[in-house]
Amino acid sequence: MISLKKPLIVLALGQLFFSVQSSAQEHTIHPLTLQSVKVNDSFWSPKIRVWNTVTVYDVLDKLEGKYEIDRPDTKAEKERTGHTSDAFHNFDLVAQGKTNIGQHDGPPWYDGLVYETIRGAADILAEYPDAKLEKKLDAYIDRIAAAQAVDPDGYLNTYTTLTRPKQRWGLNGGQDRWQHDVYNAGMLVDAGIHYYRATGKTKLLSVSVKLSNYMYKVMGPAPKNNVIPGHGGPEEIELRLYQLFKQHPELKAKMGAPVHEQNYLTLAKYWIDDRGNHGNPDSTYKRASDGSYNQDAIPVTQQTTIEGHAVRATLLASGVTATALETKDPAYIKTVNNYWNNMIGKRMFITGGEGAIADDERFGPDYFLPEHAYLETCASIGSGFFSEQMNELEADGKYMDEFERVAYNNLLSGVSLSGDHYFYENPLIATDHNRWAWHGCPCCPPMILKMVSALPQYIYGYDDKRVYVNLFIGSEGKIKLDGSDITLKQTTGYPWKGTTHIEVITEKPKTFTMNVRIPGWAENKENPFDLYKSNVGSGVKLKVNGKEIALNQVKGYATITRSWKKGDVVELTLPVQPRIVSVNDQVKTIKGKIAIAAGPIVYGFESLDNPGVQDYTLTANTVMAINYKPELLNGVNVITGETTDKAGQQVKFTAIPFYSLGNRKPSTTYQVWMPENGK
Ligand code: FUB
Ligand code: ZN
């Protein structure tokens, strides 16, 4: 049984098409716009259909309070208030001018979860127009704008207004770490940007501008107030607001408020640089330290390890990386490398999970990787966003290896195959671990929506001379490279099969470099720091137009430079076959245990297929078979083999992808790591 040691609930599209692809610089990678990628993939497309038709509506309905009670926390909340928690009702109360009424539905960050869901939904709309969804979102946006309109400064955080209006931003004895004023504001701005990019509509963006202007006015070096976000994330978003207006100055006139985009960059940098600066206790410019929990014990550029609340830490890390990309500040670049190296080299779980410790939902110490770890879905997603940003900064395939690990494992496990039940914790061993319909702290479903809707952008990338194939997902990506329109068309059976074809479509022959990521696991480098080890032999092959070519690798990518003409095809073969993964000797918590993976997918053993699994051992050189079962769990590769139980009896085992565990009844007992036979 999973237990939370400390329950956290203390409760004109065409114009946009190429427009963000203009400032290419060598060796910083740019992702594509959502409108320039179309996914058509046997693994992802059916899932995307479920997320677009079930999950996004499910999350919005549940945020409206339409959820089944299947947990003690949602039950207790309903008993306390007499109703289910409706996030939109909070906005309506504020719009009616209510304040200080001691009543607010859901956690203080409920507004933020609405905005995050709107961001995810906006990205869905950018790829898959859906008039019904857009109408629904427009109606929510009207209610949000109405709530902001009652405040002359444009302030908006329903929790603070309804329960402690004198403590905006955590000032006057409040605590932003709890109130989430700045976090919620950041998520609002993010939603405004994404909704504009998807639909061209500016209402939510204008709300975002007013709120950002207000934050810029009240937060900053003295004589302003010493305020940092009580939860990382807003740093990256204010930077995005700055970038949006830099790219589209014509938008400023539509905001109904002044736009000085430089202020948003200043604010983002202030929120990074002010961490660790608690002010002189005798001055008015002071605040309580949020400690390492909120990455605030010491200045960011002095932080050499990734610490504290794992969602806060990974979102801050992503924000510092994005700011480093913009400013090229060497101190930021050094810091984010330190964060990433520590996270991936010493604290990451085999499924891409992050945050070992339930208490405070924190990163644990180095090499502390217990099977029962907490591993919040949001933390893994935060680390995925961070890794993607690192790849944009450093152009090194190892970052996308770790993005991919998250995507195929700890991200997908967070949502049921039916698309309407969710995991908060994703431990590597569990009994009676069930996805829930709704949670007292339902932060993970909106994060899942944000990541799955953004993911197509990261399949390809480009700089001024090169295109990058980062992920193996059937798709078409349109790239403007050095003045030429290039389309890359990918077909693949990945992750179940190892062969991918990438067709180049270009009007005229053009010389450029195509960088194709070669995953570390395919070359016996399970982890760049040897935190995990595996050996799948040699099976990577690369062909151009049917002819094998030498693997010329630079920083995790096979590079192919030639004059490309329409119809040229690159064929990549990766050894997607079962492999045994072991762990670095420094990891005492899973000493003597091994796990199974194939391609990017980590496998687990569910008691339904493996009665008595708790007594199994595994032999490192066991012979394993891998077969696709279309009728099982919406179609998965299953790994089978023979081993012995602790009594020495021969037993057959069946392993299924980690992400698919817990989708069948009645079994929800599973484990990933197995004691190695003889160890
Ligand atoms: O604080 C908002 C969200 O609630 C965090 O990101 C989650 O970890 C949960 O604590
Ligand atoms: Zn979460």
- Which atom of ligand 1 lies nearest, measured to the CA of 447? 6
How far apart are the CA of 222 and the centre of ligand 2, in A?
A: 34
How far apart are the CA of 394 and the centre of ligand 2, in A?
A: 28
Of the candidates 444, 324, 431, 320, the one whose C-alpha atom is nearest the C-alpha of residue 379 is: 444
**In this structure, which ligand is nearest to the CA of 293?**
1
- Which atom of ligand 1 lies nearest, measured to the CA of 361? 8
| Domain that includes residue 251, residue range | 30-458
- Which atom of ligand 1 lies nearest, measured to the CA of 315? 6
Separation CA 467–CA 69 (nearest Å):
48
H helix runs in 253-396, sequence order: 261-273, 310-327, 330-342, 377-394
At 665 the pLDDT is 86
At 1 the pLDDT is 30
**In this structure, which ligand is nearest to the CA of 377?**
2
Is residue 19, in this structure, part of any structural domain at all? Answer: no
| Portion of the chain with pLDDT greater than 90, in percent | 93
| Contact between 387 and 399 (Cβ < 8 Å) | yes
At 667 the pLDDT is 65
Q: Taking residues 626-652, report their average pLDDT.
A: 94
Mean pLDDT of the chain: 95
Own/partner pairs for 434-437, CB < 8 Å, 24+ apart? 434/662, 434/668, 435/662, 436/70, 436/71, 437/62, 437/67, 437/68, 437/69, 437/70
Determine the residue type at 281. Answer: P
Q: Are residues 548 and 605 in the same domain?
A: no
Q: Are residues 469 and 345 in the same domain?
A: no
pLDDT tier at 7, thresholds 50, 70, 90: very low
At 22 the pLDDT is 33
Please work out whether the CB of residue 310 comes within 6 Å of at least one atom of ligand 1: no
- Which atom of ligand 1 lies nearest, measured to the CA of 312? 6
Q: Are residues 316 and 386 in the same domain?
A: yes
pLDDT tens by residue, 262-311: 999 999 999 999 999 999 988 999 999 999 999 999 999 999 999 999 99
Is residue 309, in this structure, part of any structural domain at all? Answer: yes
**Last-in-domain residue among 436, 458, 480:** 458
At 647 the pLDDT is 83
Q: Residues 6 or more apart from 475 whose CB is under 8 A from it?
A: 37, 38, 39, 40, 41, 456, 459, 460, 489, 490
Separation CA 473–CA 468 (nearest Å):
13
**Last-in-domain residue among 415, 440, 458:** 458
**Last-in-domain residue among 458, 493, 526:** 458
How far apart are the CA of 192 and the centre of ligand 1, in A?
A: 21
Q: Are residues 147 and 107 in the same domain?
A: yes
How far apart are the CA of 108 and the centre of ligand 1, in A?
A: 10
How far apart are the CA of 537 and the centre of ligand 2, in A?
A: 37
Weakest mean pLDDT among 311-315, 493-497, 616-620: 616-620
DSSP-assigned beta bridge partners for residue 581: 534, 595
Is residue 525, in this structure, part of any structural domain at all? Answer: no
**In this structure, which ligand is nearest to the CA of 312?**
1
Q: Whose CA is nearest to atom 2 of ligand 1?
A: 109
Query: In the chain, how many domains are there?
Result: 3
**In this structure, which ligand is nearest to the CA of 410?**
2
Is residue 18, in this structure, part of any structural domain at all? Answer: no
Is residue 530, in this structure, part of any structural domain at all? Answer: no
pLDDT tens by residue, 541-582: 999 999 999 999 999 999 999 999 999 999 999 999 999 999
Q: Are residues 488 and 448 in the same domain?
A: no
What CATH number does residue 368 fall under?
1.50.10
- Which atom of ligand 1 lies nearest, measured to the CA of 309? 8
Q: What are phi and psi of 37, to 5 degrees?
A: -125, 135
pLDDT tens by residue, 250-260: 999 999 999 99
Weakest mean pLDDT among 90-94, 182-186, 213-217, 614-618: 614-618
pLDDT tier at 645, thresholds 50, 70, 90: confident
Q: Whose CA is nearest to atom 6 of ligand 1?
A: 311
pLDDT tens by residue, 95-112: 999 999 999 999 999 999
Is residue 479, in this structure, part of any structural domain at all? Answer: yes
At 622 the pLDDT is 92
Our mutation pick for probing the ligand 1 site, out of 175, 311, 376, 444, counting the most ligand atoms within 8 A of Cβ, is 311
- Which atom of ligand 1 lies nearest, measured to the CA of 180? 1
Is residue 116, in this structure, part of any structural domain at all? Answer: yes
Q: Are residues 568 and 610 in the same domain?
A: no
pLDDT tens by residue, 29-60: 999 999 999 999 999 999 999 999 999 999 99
pLDDT tens by residue, 503-548: 999 999 999 999 999 999 999 999 999 999 999 998 999 999 999 9
Q: Whose CA is nearest to atom 4 of ligand 1?
A: 443
What CATH number does residue 550 fall under?
2.60.420
Please work out whether the CB of residue 311 comes within 6 Å of at least one atom of ligand 1: yes
Own/partner pairs for 134-141, CB < 8 Å, 24+ apart? 134/199, 136/60, 137/195, 138/201, 140/60, 140/88, 140/114, 141/195, 141/203, 141/204, 141/207
Q: Are residues 470 and 593 in the same domain?
A: no
Q: Are residues 352 and 431 in the same domain?
A: yes
Please work out whether the CB of residue 361 comes within 6 Å of at least one atom of ligand 1: yes
| Contact between 364 and 305 (Cβ < 8 Å) | no
Q: Taking residues 377-392, report their average pLDDT.
A: 99
Q: Are residues 234 and 219 in the same domain?
A: yes
How far apart are the CA of 449 and the centre of ligand 2, in A?
A: 12
Residue 547's CB is within 10 A of a number of other CB atoms, namely 8
H helix runs in 395-516, sequence order: 397-405, 412-413, 444-454
Burial of residue 507, with CB atoms counted within 10 A of its CB: 0-12 exposed, 13-18 middle, 19 or more buried: exposed
Please work out whether the CB of residue 109 comes within 6 Å of at least one atom of ligand 1: yes
How far apart are the CA of 160 and the centre of ligand 1, in A?
A: 17
**In this structure, which ligand is nearest to the CA of 424?**
2
Please work out whether the CB of residue 8 comes within 6 Å of at least one atom of ligand 1: yes
pLDDT tier at 351, thresholds 50, 70, 90: very high
Is residue 404, in this structure, part of any structural domain at all? Answer: yes
Alpha-carbon Rg for the chain, nearest whole angstrom, is 24
Q: Are residues 499 and 454 in the same domain?
A: no
In the predicted structure, residue 21 carries a pLDDT above the cut 60 = no
How far apart are the CA of 109 and the centre of ligand 1, in A?
A: 8
In the predicted structure, residue 130 carries a pLDDT above the cut 90 = yes
pLDDT tier at 646, thresholds 50, 70, 90: confident
How far apart are the CA of 411 and the centre of ligand 2, in A?
A: 11
Could you tell me where the beta strands, DSSP code E, fall in 525-676? 532-534, 541-544, 547-548, 553-554, 557-564, 569-573, 579-583, 593-598, 601-606, 624-629, 636-644, 650-657, 670-671, 674-675
At 608 the pLDDT is 95
At 644 the pLDDT is 87
Q: Are residues 486 and 547 in the same domain?
A: yes
Q: Are residues 404 and 511 in the same domain?
A: no
Please work out whether the CB of residue 447 comes within 6 Å of at least one atom of ligand 1: no
How far apart are the CA of 385 and the centre of ligand 2, in A?
A: 14
